[in-house]
A and B are shown apart, each in its own frame.
Chain A
Amino acid sequence: MDIVEIARWQFGITTVYHFMMVPLTLGLGLVVALFNVLWVRTGRHEYLRLTKFWGKLFLINFIMGVATGLVQEFQFGMAWSEYSRFVGDVFGAPLAMEGLLAFFVESTFLGLWIFGWGRLKPKIHAACLMAAVVASWFSAYFIIVANSWMQHPVGYEIVDGRPVLNDIWAVLTNNTAMVAFPHAIFGSVAVAGSFLLGIAWYKLWKRRVRGIDTVDAQGRVVVGSLETGAEDRADHGIWLRSLRLGCLLGVIGFAGTAFTGHAQAQLMYEQQPLKMAAAEAACHDGTAFSVLTISSPGSRDCDDVNALIELPGLLSFLANENFHTDVPGITTLEPQYEEMYGTNLADDDLYGDRAGSEISYVPLMEVTYWGFRVMIGFGGLAAVACVFAWWITRRGTVPEAKWLMRLAVFGILAPFGANIAGWVFTEMGRQPFVVAPNPDLPLDQRVYMFTEAAVSPNASPWELIFSLASLCLIYLVLMVVEVYLIAKYVRSGVVAAMPELVEEEHDDDDDDSRRDVLSFAY
């Protein structure tokens, strides 16, 4: 097996996996911080419950994000040492800033928040969480700055064939990053929205089927109460509030991703026109947006592509905000790329036994085409679900139908799917480049690197296969564990995060020693 292929699979798998934890951390962190602030400001008990319950799930997920994030940073040097050498002068800076200015704040203040219950003043305690959440957003910003430089390199000059940083501000305000960052944040808000919606729906449904809550003749909820497990009247309010907030976040997230996504499409049309064309499987110049296009599997050949359903003018609108300017297709673009960047890889040691082989400038069209549509489709589905959930719970609870509950719970996966598809699309669409050339610059000032040249020359296939296999295995096991733990805490409800809501079984401790017990401990 080709070493570049294994290294790419590994980078893809570990990054996509990491980016399942990240949007939930970014989005749910905002939710927990919001509840915490509301609790501090109003002193209302339900906000404390909301903070503690969602905070617990936040932490179960957060740790996985931390653990899998380490792999990203090490991998550049381990498997992509030529890439690191080539871009290190520019690319290392945002990564180091992320560690120093964001990740440190995030980890330290989150530790303070977790263990600070009862030890810090409530306002300072809530401020610690806010600091951690804001830092996690900054962290995302720096990483996206680094990624955007690979999509659209700016702020450098070429010295001895390598890009050397000469304008950090240009890198930090790269227009690609300026739209990709809010896009990722809104995507994360959508993830948090569906997460709240699915779980709160399940809890409200459970209260109904257990007969705690009932509905009257008009369909309005009659809230009940249980003697055990803190499933009292307030509990109903917790879940309804969570559900409503989830719907709101879901809609905001979708609207935000749509607007920022549109801005991204316009930039992509200028910066990476072939990615745009491949997203559309658009072989020829035109204005129509494809709704359904088919081709033979694995094909990069335009003769095999058949557009079945198209919406006239829409593609032109996405790219140009009018309905009549032709968007260039692959058959126009590919010869231009070949002319600018060559038809074959150079006869260079960098490429190993891949030297001299032919370059295909067209990304894998099935992946880009479907990645683009899965992203939009799942994102839209989640938003529709949010609107529907808001409407159907207008009388204060969810229907008793089990299939609807299942739909709400599995619906949690939709915005995750959209996030993953979006990243796969944008990264696979950048191929065959690892650093794509910036067409705004004169040809001789454009820096670019083929993925084929980026891999570590000394890495052996067996090393890579070992790391790929062991990471996949551990990731798989940990995914099962995380989902198991989240499910377990959800089933037990708020009381799982607040044992103080139920009575102790043994009450034989004397008061003195109990006063010293930590309010939180591992």
Chain B
Amino acid sequence: MFEQFMDQPVLPTVWFCVVGFFWIGYVILDGFDLGVGMLMGRIFSRDEKERRLLLNTIGPVWDGNEVWLVTAGAATFAAFPMWYAALFSALYLPLTLLLLALILRAVSIEYRGKGSGQRWSSRWNALMVGSSTAIAFLIGAALALTTTGLPLNTNGDRVGGPFAWVTWPAVLGGVAMVGFCLVHALAFVALKTDGQVRHRARTLLVRLLPVALLPAAAWVLILQFRGGTPLSWAFTALAVLGGVLAWVAAVSGREGRAFAGLAVFIGAGMLAIFLALYPAVLPSTLAGGLDLEIATASSSAYTLRVMTVVGAIGVPVLLIYQSWTYWVFRKRLSTAHIPEAHSVTELATRPSVR
């Protein structure tokens, strides 16, 4: 089952796993948090108080979740500079859009409640919904492209112009990520809230789940048929199992299990994708182009050893304190917990408390 690892160098394989770990961690953690952003649209949430309730379920954790993306990017740079350089420069336009969306989302979370009047908050809210959707789509597209390949020349540079990345795998990956984020967020909201919002999220989760996971499942299966190994097929089966269990749990109203099942679905699914890709990290779709593989794309053994020490210290500690954050803010929230919104200018005119 593990023979696929035998002919490959050890340290790059370790770092392939670490980088995969950060990408998977990012998709599991920021996935629901992006989905909550999408749910803040009018279709799901009925009024401003509900939107604020949704925002506050991710309030304490969203920034920490986003750092998984930063670290996934930086770890790719440190361990596989050739992969980082080829992928990021090939995806120049989509990553520009991703950055714009990330900027707008961060700012709209912090600023939406700080203005005055309904127009202010509804504009920032629209930005939140739009940017959350765009981020999910673009991350999905980028990950799908690194797993299915880009037109790269012998130097690892993209040929075919700025739009060479617009392909059907990109669209499939984008839609897959948006669909997954939506249902993962519904499970999260059902788990973290109480009252009408919880009820609505549960109902919608049961209805949406089977459909929303299909594109992601398709992406996993395509990779398996292209380069599946026994191990990657095993994870594919685990992913399917996770998805099915999530749906069963959703139907029987077990919110925690539904959330965990979905995490297993995407975690195992992405593992299956990466394992089917291994030892490639970014194949070229051109004949004679540079297929980036772990051995050719990676940093030197010394750099990887240094980074392994840093990771061995940093990652466990990180997991402890981030878990603690989720523990501290484990309580369910309902609209009754959300304080009244204040206009700060008006506060200054109220009588002081003696």
The residues of A that contact B92 with a CB separation of less than 8 Å are: 78-79, 456, 459, 463-464, 467
Known: A229-B347, A458-B158. A93 touches B64 (CB 8 A): no
What is the distance, in angstroms, from A77's C-beta to the closest C-beta of chain B?
3
Q: Is the CB of A96 within 8 A of B107?
A: no
Q: Is the CB of B115 within 8 A of A228?
A: no
Known: A74-B95, A115-B329. A516 touches B336 (CB 8 A): yes
Q: Is the CB of B307 within 8 A of A96?
A: yes
Q: Is the CB of A95 within 8 A of B82?
A: no
The residues of A that contact B342 with a CB separation of less than 8 Å are: 499
Q: Is the CB of A115 within 8 A of B60?
A: yes
Q: Is the CB of A60 within 8 A of B106?
A: no
The CA-CA distance from A496 to B352 in the complex, in Å, is 13
The residues of B that contact A462 with a CB separation of less than 8 Å are: 162
Instruction: Kindly identify which residue among A81, A88, A89, A502 contacts B347, using a CB–CB cutoff of 8 Å.
Output: A502
Does any Cβ of B come within 8 Å of A76's Cβ? yes
Instruction: Kindly identify which residue among B63, B79, B311 contacts A66, using a CB–CB cutoff of 8 Å.
Output: B63
The residues of A that contact B99 with a CB separation of less than 8 Å are: 70-71, 74, 471
Chain B, residues 213-245, CB within 8 Å of chain A (1/0): the string is 000000000000000000000000000000000
The residues of A that contact B161 with a CB separation of less than 8 Å are: 460
The residues of B that contact A168 with a CB separation of less than 8 Å are: 306
For chain A, the count of residues having a C-beta within 8 Å of the partner chain is 96
Does any Cβ of A come within 8 Å of B289's Cβ? no
Does any Cβ of B come within 8 Å of A346's Cβ? no
Chain B, residues 287-311, CB within 8 Å of chain A (1/0): the string is 0000000000001101100110011
Interface of B: prevailing SS: helix
Chain A, residues 80-101, CB within 8 Å of chain B (1/0): the string is 0110110111111101111111
Instruction: Kindly identify which residue among B78, B88, B302, B303 contacts A78, using a CB–CB cutoff of 8 Å.
Output: B88
Does any Cβ of B come within 8 Å of A277's Cβ? no
The CA-CA distance from A273 to B56 in the complex, in Å, is 54
Known: A92-B77, A456-B157. A502 touches B353 (CB 8 A): yes
Known: A78-B89, A92-B81. A111 touches B61 (CB 8 A): yes
Known: A76-B77, A501-B352. A478 touches B107 (CB 8 A): yes
Q: Interface segment, A405-413, A416-424, A481-489?
A: A481-489
Interface range for B: 35 or more
Q: Is the CB of B318 within 8 A of A93?
A: no
The residues of A that contact B88 with a CB separation of less than 8 Å are: 74, 76-78, 81, 84
The CA-CA distance from A407 to B71 in the complex, in Å, is 42
Known: A89-B81, A100-B318. A460 touches B107 (CB 8 A): no
Does any Cβ of A come within 8 Å of B344's Cβ? yes
Does any Cβ of A come within 8 Å of B67's Cβ? yes
A–B pairs, 12, beta carbons within 8 Å: A78-B89, A81-B86, A81-B89, A84-B81, A89-B303, A92-B74, A93-B78, A100-B314, A111-B62, A458-B157, A492-B344, A496-B348
Residues of chain B at the chain A interface (Cβ within 8 Å): 52, 55-56, 59-64, 66-67, 70-71, 73-75, 77-79, 81-82, 84-93, 95-96, 98-100, 102-104, 106-107, 109-115, 155-159, 161-162, 299-300, 302-303, 306-307, 310-311, 313-315, 318, 321-322, 325, 328-329, 333, 336-340, 342, 344-345, 347-353
**3 nearest A-B residue pairs (beta carbon):** A88-B81, A77-B88, A92-B78
Given contacts A77-B87, A471-B99, list 5 more A-B pairs with CB under 8 A: A71-B99, A73-B74, A74-B99, A112-B325, A518-B337
Residues of chain A at the chain B interface (Cβ within 8 Å): 59-60, 63-64, 66-68, 70-71, 73-74, 76-79, 81-82, 84-85, 87-93, 95-101, 103-105, 107-112, 114-116, 119-120, 159, 164-166, 168, 226-232, 456-460, 462-464, 466-467, 470-471, 474, 478, 481, 485, 488-489, 491-493, 495-496, 499-505, 513, 516-519, 521-522
